[in-house]
C-alpha cells in the first residue's frame, strides 16, 4: 500500500480508534481496502472519476445510496471525490456457479434494481448506452494509438448491426456490470455492489451481461429470461437478448483495450482483452446478422 493511500484513508474524519488498513485484492478498476476501527470493519473504495470509462463518482454515489435505501446494497458511511467508506458485509463474493445456484434470488434482486430504484432516484439522470460506450471507446483507442486500431472499423460495423437488430428497446434503470464478484452473499441475503456504471439502459443488457459474465449456456439463458419475464418467451426477445449479450462482450473487450493504456492496477488486461474478444467473435457469429 502506498503512503499516499494510507494517509488518504487515515485522514477520513469518521474513525473513532487507531485504524488497521488491509488491501483487498480483486478489483480491476478501483483499489479496495478493509479498515478495522476497533471492533468495527468497513470497506473502502479508492478511485476518482475515470472519464475514459465514463465513470463519474457523483452518479455512483447517488445510485449506491438509493440501492442502500432499498436494501440492495450495503450502506455508504462516508464519501468524497476520492473514496467511499461502506458498511462491511461479512460474506463471500459469488462465483459463476453460485450465480446459477442462486438464480431466483439474483433475478429478484435485478428486478428491484430495474423497477424500484428509478422510483427513488434524484438528480441528473445518467444513461449507460452500450453502443455509445463502444463508439466512445473506439474514438479513445484511435486517439491514443492503441495496438488494436486496425480492428476498430470492423468492431464498429458489428456494433451497428447489433444495435439495429436489437431495437426497439425497453428502458429501465440498470446496474450494467453484473460480474459474479459484484454479488456478496451473507447468512441472510445476497447484496449487489459497485455502481460506477449504473444508469438507464435496456434490461436485456443486464441479463445479457449476467449470462456472458457467468458462462450461461443456451438452456440456462432460457431459464433466466423466463424467470425474469415470468412467462414463456418468444423469438423476438430471445434474438434481442442474444444481441445485447454480444454487445456486452464487445463492451467488455473494448473496456479492457482502453484499460491496457490507462490503468495503473496490476492486472493482465491484455489477456483479458483476448479472452473477451474470442467470446465476442463467437457470439457475433452465432447471431447470423
User: CB burial class (10 A; 0-12, 13-18, 19+) of residue 39?
Assistant: exposed
Average per-residue pLDDT in the chain? 93
Mean pLDDT of 85-110: 94
pLDDT, tens only, 66-83: 999 999 999 999 998 889
DSSP class of 202: -
45: β partners = 32, 84
**Segment holding 78, helix H or strand E:** strand 76-79
Q: Do residues 225 and 109 make contact, with C-beta atoms less than 8 angstroms apart?
A: no
Judged against a pLDDT cut of 60, whether residue 178 lies above it is answered with yes
Locus of grid cell 455492489: 193
User: Whole-angstrom Cα distance, residue 36 to residue 20?
Assistant: 5
pLDDT in the model for residue 269: 95
Whether the per-residue pLDDT at 279 is higher than 70: the answer is yes
Q: Which pLDDT value is given to residue 3?
A: 52
Half-sphere exposure of 171 (CA within 13 A, CB side): 11
pLDDT digits (tens, 9 = 90+) for 219-251: 999 999 999 999 999 999 999 999 999 999 999
Residue 188: predicted pLDDT: 86
CA dist 75 and 89 (Å) reads: 10
The pLDDT-based confidence of 282 (bands split at 50, 70, 90) is very high
Between CA 163 and CA 243 the distance in angstroms is 8
Contact 192/183 with Cβ under 8 angstroms? yes
Predicted confidence (pLDDT) at residue 266 exceeds the cutoff of 90? no
What is the DSSP secondary structure assignment for residue 182, as one 8-state letter? G
Residue ranges covered by each domain of the chain: 3-87, 92-287
Class of domain 92-287: alpha beta
Q: Are 16 and 39 in contact (CB under 8 A)?
A: no
What pTM value is reported for the model?
0.92
pLDDT score, position 1: 46
> What pLDDT is attached to residue 25?
75
Average pLDDT over residues 124-133: 92
CATH of 3-87, one of 3.90.550.10, 3.30.200.20, 3.40.50.150, 3.60.21.10: 3.30.200.20
pLDDT number for residue 240: 97
Residue-wise pLDDT for 151-172, tens only, equals 999 999 999 999 999 999 999 9
Element (H, E) at 250: helix 235-262
Of the two residues 26 and 6, the one the predictor is more confident about is 6
Q: How confident is the model at residue 264 (pLDDT cuts 50, 70, 90)?
A: confident
pLDDT tens per residue, range 13-60:
999 999 999 988 766 667 889 999 989 999 999 888 999 999 999 999
Q: In this predicted structure, what is the pLDDT of residue 28?
A: 66
- The helix (run of H) or strand (run of E) holding residue 3 is helix 3-10
Q: What would the mean pLDDT of 279-284 be, rounded to a whole number?
A: 96
**Angle of CA points 20, 55, 170, to nearest 5°:** 125
CB 280 within 8 A of CB 250: yes
Q: How far is CA 34 from CA 15, 24, 63, 107, in A?
A: 13, 6, 22, 29
83's grid cell: 473514496
- Only one residue has cell 491496457, namely 260
Q: What mean pLDDT comes out for the span 261-270?
A: 90
Percent of the chain with pLDDT over 90: 83
Amino acid at each position: 500500500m502506498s503512503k499516499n493511500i494510507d494517509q488518504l484513508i487515515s485522514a477520513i474524519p469518521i474513525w473513532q480508534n487507531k485504524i488497521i488498513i488491509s488491501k483487498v485484492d480483486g478489483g480491476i478498476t478501483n483499489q479496495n481496502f478493509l479498515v478495522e476501527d476497533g471492533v468495527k470493519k468497513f470497506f473502502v473504495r479508492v478511485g476518482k472519476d475515470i472519464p475514459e470509462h465514463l465513470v463519474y463518482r457523483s452518479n455512483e454515489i447517488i445510485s449506491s445510496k438509493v440501492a442502500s435505501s432499498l436494501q440492495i446494497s450495503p450502506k455508504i458511511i462516508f464519501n468524497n471525490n476520492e473514496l467511499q467508506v461502506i458498511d462491511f458485509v461479512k460474506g463471500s463474493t459469488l462465483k459463476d456457479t453460485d450465480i446459477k445456484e442462486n438464480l431466483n434470488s439474483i433475478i429478484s434482486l435485478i428486478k428491484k434494481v430495474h423497477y424500484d430504484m428509478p422510483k427513488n432516484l434524484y438528480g441528473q439522470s445518467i444513461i449507460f448506452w452500450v453502443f455509445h460506450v463502444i463508439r466512445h471507446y473506439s474514438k479513445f483507442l484511435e486517439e491514443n494509438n492503441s495496438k488494436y486500431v486496425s480492428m476498430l472499423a470492423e468492431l464498429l460495423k458489428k456494433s451497428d448491426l447489433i444495435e439495429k437488430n436489437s431495437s426497439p428497446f425497453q428502458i429501465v434503470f440498470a446496474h450494467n456490470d453484473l460480474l459474479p464478484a459484484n454479488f456478496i452473499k451473507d447468512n441472510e441475503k445476497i447484496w449487489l455492489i459497485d455502481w460506477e456504471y449504473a444508469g438507464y439502459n435496456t434490461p436485456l443488457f443486464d441479463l445479457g451481461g449476467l449470462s456472458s459474465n457467468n458462462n450461461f449456456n443456451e438452456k440456462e439463458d432460457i431459464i433466466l429470461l423466463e424467470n425474469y419475464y415470468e412467462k414463456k418467451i418468444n423469438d423476438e426477445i430471445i434474438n434481442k437478448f442474444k444481441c445485447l449479450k454480444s454487445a456486452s462482450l464487445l463492451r467488455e473487450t473494448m473496456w479492457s483495450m482502453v484499460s491496457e493504456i490507462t490503468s495503473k492496477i496490476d492486472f493482465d488486461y491484455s489477456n483479458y482483452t483476448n479472452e473477451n474478444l474470442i467470446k465476442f467473435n463467437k457470439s457475433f457469429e452465432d447471431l447470423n446478422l
